[in-house]
């Protein structure tokens, strides 16, 4: 038995621990967060009021008040056993970062006190020089600052050796430029708020509305595999995905004697994650997602976007950490295994006002419906005009395997509305009424929009931007991504369209006088203009790719090319207008993300090179030797003792050996070419390098993989060290 086979044996005999949780969730939900309710109990009335004004209107609290809150937060955290605190932030790499500090300060020789000042709550100064800034921060002012985001509650994270108070923060440069993903999201919420309130105010029944927020629920897909396999797969460790591996043959799916235990193991894991998430106030529900073997999903209950984004990052960290406790590894890569379903993050997005209304929920009155259609038309227009930005918001190396690759949805952005809504819009578009009153709207068929049941809207699972009853679902987001940027981009482009719709309505009122008629006229015009972005059919079909081309919709499968739109003049102007990104901030992101794409591919290629040389080729040689000596022996025995050997059988052995020899040859030859290509790329700029990697390196890596996988299928099981697909996915 080789190492791999040995492990297989281990995995098969894993015993499950029973996790029993007799405590009802309601007793511990949110117990590890410094929630608004807890804060209220521990600070003075005045300070709490000031804090609330800060959250609602952005008027900052005084330093004395910050001190008071910091003190309460510290006492609460220490009572819960925390000894450290950290500013928790989201640098542009997409991970989260922390810099831990102890609560302890030295007050004199040999004397310590527990201290955590208001200053330290509000602002931190991590050694930031190692985080990418895309040129925003010159090296001579390498400082970056973290600043408290009071809208997201602080929380306590437990590790084996202790507990840490984590304070959600933004991360900015000395001059205030955003070095993270959170600040642009907060800014985009502000832009959206202004625009949405502006539109709502035009409607008589909304006079009381003061604030609109975006809401979000990100369904998180992931794979789980046994840690033993993971440790033997260099590619999973280094890159998060398998760079080689033959598909599992049919029938292997039915190793059901182990399937039962797998399920229970995973279930235990899910309960454990859910319990930890609840403590942090993250409202998740577990889901079994049987699309691919060992692929699952967590779906949260939606929250305010900023919170949803923080919680999604936090949830991913918990999921990774807790998996290890269960002897599992949680994979977030968009395509860990070739040939089977990849993982995404369905971003459910909507708008809510401070009166508790969901703006994407058609109502019961004509006014509600007209408003719903106005908001809907703004969404259509935003996606129609800025599909390229949506595409850019999900552009990363991992997602390239999902979008526009051969076994995934195309990279074409379109909107699915469902038949009912589609029909209604078609009717409005063709409507010939020139004078429309409330009663006429009834005639028009939209006085009482049918309840858009999920059933009627959710049938099409292939659309990248689908209306799924009272919300839109952006499905192109990658499973490993931080959702802050996609949300910030959605918020911004929709803010712009909401402004446009409001301005058009005002204009139309000048000529029409009748408000409803004016609104309907604007909606109808937008519906007409944006028709090309709507698609109700199968997005995975070849016909759609052709049809989309005819309509002039972009289909950009290259990450680098998709990112280019961020550096375009119009887009810079758009983000500057809405104060979400300055020109420098946007261009910096463009550079960082292209650079990260290149780094990812270089790590992949180097890992593949090493695996080929250290594992695959030696296994090939071992088997080659075995075959050669068997053949040699037969031929000799035939000669020496006249062994009767069937000529065809002998020939077959020769063919087999030749196949193995040539597979090894192709693997080696292409790997050498790959190394040369990497060498060549070193001279190129990031942009040119990304182009080369997309057009040449990736196909070459696929080519190498094809031959390696062929080899895996013929080489003796004994010689093959790398855990196989059928093992990782089914046992």
- 299 touching ligand ADP, by CB under 6 A: yes
Ramachandran angles phi, psi of 669, nearest 5°: -60, -50
Max Cα–Cα distance, the chain, nearest Å: 108
Nearer to ligand ADP, 352 or 611 (CB): 352
- 349 touching ligand ADP, by CB under 6 A: yes
Q: Which stretch binds ligand ADP (CB under 6 A): 12-20, 163-171, 216-224, 261-269?
A: 216-224
Nearer to ligand ADP, 458 or 602 (CB): 458
- 346 touching Mg ion, by CB under 5 A: yes
DSSP 60-84: PPPHHHHHHHHHHHHHHHHHTTEEE
CA 628 vs CA 99, 606, 620, 652: distances in Å: 59, 31, 12, 13
- 215 touching ligand ADP, by CB under 6 A: yes
Locate tokens 């609560």: which residue? 103
- 362 touching ligand ADP, by CB under 6 A: no
- 193 touching ligand ADP, by CB under 6 A: no
- 296 touching ligand ADP, by CB under 6 A: no
Question: What is the distance between the alpha carbons of residues 192 and 276, in angstroms, rounded to a whole number?
Answer: 33
Let me know if 581 is exposed, middle or buried by CB neighbors in 10 A (0-12, 13-18, 19+): buried
Nearer to Mg ion, 181 or 346 (CB): 346
Question: What is the distance between the alpha carbons of residues 525 and 429, in angstroms, rounded to a whole number?
Answer: 7
Count Cβ atoms below 10 Å from residue 143 Cβ, excluding itself: 13
Minimal distance, residue 349 CB to ligand ADP, in Å: 6
Q: Which stretch binds ligand ADP (CB under 6 A): 17-25, 297-305, 411-419, 510-518?
A: 297-305
- 470 touching ligand ADP, by CB under 6 A: yes
- 471 touching ligand ADP, by CB under 6 A: yes
Nearer to ligand ADP, 299 or 517 (CB): 299
| Interactions with ligand ADP, residue window 247-276 (CB under 6 A) | none
Task: Give yes or no for a contact between 180 and 91, defined as CB atoms under 8 angstroms apart.
Answer: yes
- Considering only 219, 226, 310, 367, the residue that binds ligand ADP (CB under 6 A) is 219
Q: Which stretch binds Mg ion (CB under 5 A): 73-81, 216-224, 383-391, 668-676?
A: 216-224
Nearer to ligand ADP, 299 or 408 (CB): 299
Nearer to ligand ADP, 429 or 458 (CB): 458
3-state secondary structure of 246: coil
Task: Give yes or no for a contact between 566 and 109, defined as CB atoms under 8 angstroms apart.
Answer: no
Angle at CA 530, nearest 5°, toward 457 and 498? 85
- Considering only 69, 216, 376, 690, the residue that binds ligand ADP (CB under 6 A) is 216
- 471 touching Mg ion, by CB under 5 A: no
Locate tokens 């925390």: which residue? 82
Question: What is the distance between the alpha carbons of residues 275 and 285, in angstroms, rounded to a whole number?
Answer: 10
- Considering only 123, 234, 358, 538, the residue that binds ligand ADP (CB under 6 A) is 358
Nearer to ligand ADP, 284 or 722 (CB): 284
Minimal distance, residue 300 CB to ligand ADP, in Å: 5
- Considering only 217, 240, 342, 404, the residue that binds ligand ADP (CB under 6 A) is 217
- 223 touching ligand ADP, by CB under 6 A: no
Minimal distance, residue 214 CB to ligand ADP, in Å: 8
Q: Which helix (H) or strand (E) holds 502?
A: helix 484-512
Produce one character per residue of 177-200: b if its CB has 16 or more CB atoms within 10 Å, e if not: bbbbbbbbbbbbbbbbbbbbbbbb
Q: Which residues bind ligand ADP (CB under 6 A)?
A: 215-217, 219, 299-302, 348-350, 358, 458, 468, 470-471
């Amino acid at each position: 038995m080789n190492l791999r086979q040995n492990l297989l044996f281990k995995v098969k005999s894993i015993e499950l621990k029973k996790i029993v949780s007799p405590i009802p969730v309601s007793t511990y939900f949110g117990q590890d967060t410094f929630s608004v309710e807890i804060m209220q109990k521990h600070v003075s009335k005045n300070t709490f009021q000031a804090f609330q004004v800060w959250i609602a209107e952005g008027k900052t609290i005084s330093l004395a008040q910050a001190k008071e809150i910091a003190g309460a937060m510290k006492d609460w955290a220490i009572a819960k056993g925390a000894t450290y605190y950290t500013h928790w932030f989201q640098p542009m790499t997409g991970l989260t970062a922390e810099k831990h500090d102890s609560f302890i300060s030295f007050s004199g020789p040999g004397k310590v006190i527990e201290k955590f000042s208001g200053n330290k709550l509000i602002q931190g100064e991590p050694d930031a020089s190692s985080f990418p800034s895309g040129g925003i921060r010159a090296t001579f002012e390498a400082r970056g600052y973290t600043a408290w985001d009071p809208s997201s509650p602080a929380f306590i994270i437990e590790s084996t050796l202790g507990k840490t108070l984590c304070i959600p923060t933004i991360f900015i440069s000395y001059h205030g430029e955003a070095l993270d993903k959170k600040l642009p999201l907060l800014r985009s919420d502000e832009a959206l708020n202004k625009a949405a309130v502006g539109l709502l105010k035009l409607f008589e029944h909304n006079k009381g509305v003061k604030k609109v927020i975006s809401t979000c629920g990100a369904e998180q897909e992931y794979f789980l595999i046994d840690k033993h396999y993971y440790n033997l797969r260099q590619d999973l460790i280094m890159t998060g995905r398998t760079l080689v591996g033959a598909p599992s043959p049919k029938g292997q799916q039915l190793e059901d004697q182990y399937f039962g235990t797998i399920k229970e193991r995973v279930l235990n894991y899910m309960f454990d994650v859910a319990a930890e998430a609840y403590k942090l106030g993250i409202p998740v529900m577990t889901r079994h997602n049987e699309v691919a073997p060992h692929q699952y999903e967590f779906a949260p209950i939606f929250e305010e976007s900023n919170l949803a984004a923080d919680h999604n990052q936090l949830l991913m960290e918990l999921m990774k950490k807790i998996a290890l406790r269960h002897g599992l590894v949680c994979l977030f890569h968009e395509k860990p295994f070739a040939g089977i379903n990849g993982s995404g993050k369905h971003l459910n997005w909507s708008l809510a006002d401070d009166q508790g209304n969901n703006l994407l929920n058609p109502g019961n009155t004509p006014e509600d419906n007209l408003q719903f259609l106005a908001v809907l038309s703004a969404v259509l227009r935003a996606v129609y005009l800025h599909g390229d930005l949506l595409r850019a918001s999900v552009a990363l190396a991992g997602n390239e395997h999902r979008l526009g690759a051969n076994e995934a949805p195309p990279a074409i952005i379109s909107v699915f509305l469902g038949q009912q809504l589609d029909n209604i819009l078609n009717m409005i578009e063709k409507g010939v009424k020139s004078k429309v009153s409330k009663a006429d709207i009834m005639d028009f068929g939209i006085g009482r929009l049918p309840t858009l049941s999920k059933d009627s809207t959710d049938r099409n699972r292939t659309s990248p931007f689908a209306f799924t009853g009272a919300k839109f679902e952006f499905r192109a987001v990658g499973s490993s991504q931080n959702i802050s940027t996609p949300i910030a981009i959605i918020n911004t482009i929709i803010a712009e369209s909401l402004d446009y719709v409001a301005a058009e309505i005002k204009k139309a009122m000048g000529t029409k006088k009748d408000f409803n008629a004016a609104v309907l006229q604007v909606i109808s015009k937008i519906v007409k203009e944006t028709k090309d972005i709507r698609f109700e059919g199968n997005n995975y079909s070849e016909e759609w790719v052709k049809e989309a081309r005819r309509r002039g919709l972009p289909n950009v499968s290259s990450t680098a090319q998709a990112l280019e739109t961020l550096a375009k003049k119009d887009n810079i102007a758009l983000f500057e207008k809405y104060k979400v990104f300055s020109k420098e901030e946007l261009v910096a992101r463009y550079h960082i993300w292209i650079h990260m794409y290149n780094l990812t591919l270089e790590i992949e290629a180097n890992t593949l090179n090493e695996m080929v040389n250290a594992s695959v080729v030696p296994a090939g040689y071992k088997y080659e030797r075995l075959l050669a000596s068997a053949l040699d022996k037969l031929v000799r025995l035939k000669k020496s003792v006249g062994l009767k050997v069937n000529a065809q059988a002998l020939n077959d052995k020769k063919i087999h050996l030749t196949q193995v020899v040539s597979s090894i040859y192709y693997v080696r030859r292409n790997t050498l070419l790959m190394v040369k290509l990497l060498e060549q790329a070193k001279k190129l700029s990031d942009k040119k390098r990304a182009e080369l990697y997309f057009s040449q390196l990736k196909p070459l890596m696929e080519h190498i993989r094809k031959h390696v996988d062929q080899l895996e299928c013929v080489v003796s099981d004994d010689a093959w060290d790398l855990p196989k697909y059928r093992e990782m996915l089914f046992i």
